[in-house]
Amino acid sequence: MEIRVLRYFLAVAREQSFSVAAERLYLSQPTLSRQLKELEDELGKPLFIRSNKGVTLTEEGMMLRKRAEEIIELVGKTEQEVRQSSENISGTVYIGAGETHAVKLIADTAHKLKTDYPEIQYSFYSADGTSVLERLDKGLLDFGLIFLQPDRSKYDSIEIPLHDVWGVLMRRDEPLAQKQTLTFEDISGLDLLIPRQPNHSTMLSDIITEKAPQAHIAAEYNLIYNASVMVREGMGSAITLDKLINVSGDSELCFRPFEPCMEAVCYFIWKRYSVFTKAAKAFLGQFKKDLQSYRN
């Protein structure tokens, strides 16, 4: 299986057309068709459903597309790392993170490094902790920022001293918005939006079942901005972390923390025994210094 042919496969999957993909790739259509037929023969499975209306992927084709995208991304990352100058510290640092105010610390470190290493760039991947770990394990990320307790046998980690606080994002005209803090008993009976992340949603669902049995989970979300739009439109109130949505000034929304306080602990992690690029090594060194200064 050649990388070149995987690129051809992804082009057809993306365009859903052999002719359009061939044009994009500057190939003749017969050449492209032959290359992908050989790929199907090599794998022993059909990858495309061909019809007059275009091309769609078979179940095996959809599976290959996911893996091929990861392979091509990893190849690109590897090529970039190998081509980096042995003298200059440059290249891309790959970081995955969930939605957390702790991203501020990453941004602060990147800003400080810019003065000494202006050629360092950053690629940020936003997702839940499970997805971040998956990409970290596959070598697609250098670092991750997650709420999951890291497996010490697989990852090195630093606990972030800046903790997020759980609470409720709601409209200011809600009666409960008059309170400065909320208990789970207060939100019993409300329509709730909760984050769709394995560790968060399970924990919150258990607490809601126990302490707010009359509450109704109206929706799950994975991006708080989208949830904030739903809250603004009256779909419900969102359980979320603080400082992710601007609720200052004339905002229609407000954030009310839970009482007693519920904090979410975040970890900055990387694979044990990782061989870092010079750019990633420089970032990690500066990040550790910045965290030490923050603690002091």
The whole-angstrom distance between residue 184's C-alpha and the CA centroid of its chain comes to 28
- The answer on pLDDT for 87 being more than 70 is no
Tell if the pTM clears 0.85, that is, is over it: no
Check residue 84 and give its pLDDT. Answer: 62
What number is the average pLDDT over the span 6-16? 89
| Per-residue model confidence as pLDDT tens digits over 158-211 | 999 988 999 999 999 999 999 999 999 999 989 999 988 766 777 888 888 888
| Per-residue model confidence as pLDDT tens digits over 118-151 | 989 999 999 888 889 999 998 899 999 998 888 9
Reference 159, options 6, 288, 4; nearest CA is 288
Check residue 82 and give its pLDDT. Answer: 73
